[in-house]
Amino acid sequence: MSTLRPLGDRLIVKASTKEEVTASGIILPDTASKERPEQGEVIAIGPGRLLDNGSVAPMHVKVGQKIVFKKYSPDEVKVDDTEFLVISESDVLAVIE
């Protein structure tokens, strides 16, 4: 099995899936809407953003946290039939607690 190791201030995120149930009880998977997700769980984090003075700014999010991010910011990556999102930390809007 392959693994992804993010570089710099990037995160690997597993998108949250949400199924919707219609009034008549039909389950619509999130793929039916074709909308990009805006939430997910952090799977891996990079070392941090390189500053002008050569030091590295630590990441503010941690592996396992659930986050909200900008809708069109992630890049989609597929590894071993599993889809992941690659996001810059600056595109994270909030941590869900």
Q: Domains in the chain, ordered, with CATH?
A: 10-96 (2.30.33.40)
pLDDT score at 4 = 86
Local structure of residue 96 (DSSP, 8 states): E
Question: What does pTM read for this prediction?
Answer: 0.75
Confidence of residue 32 (pLDDT cuts 50, 70, 90): very low
Residue 64 pLDDT more than 90?
A: yes
- Residue 42, classified by CB atoms within 10 Å of its CB into exposed (0-12), middle (13-18) or buried (19+), is buried
CA distance 35 to 75: 14
Provide the residue type at 53 as one letter. N
- What mean pLDDT is reported for the chain? 83
pLDDT score at 1 = 56
Residue 9 pLDDT more than 90?
A: yes
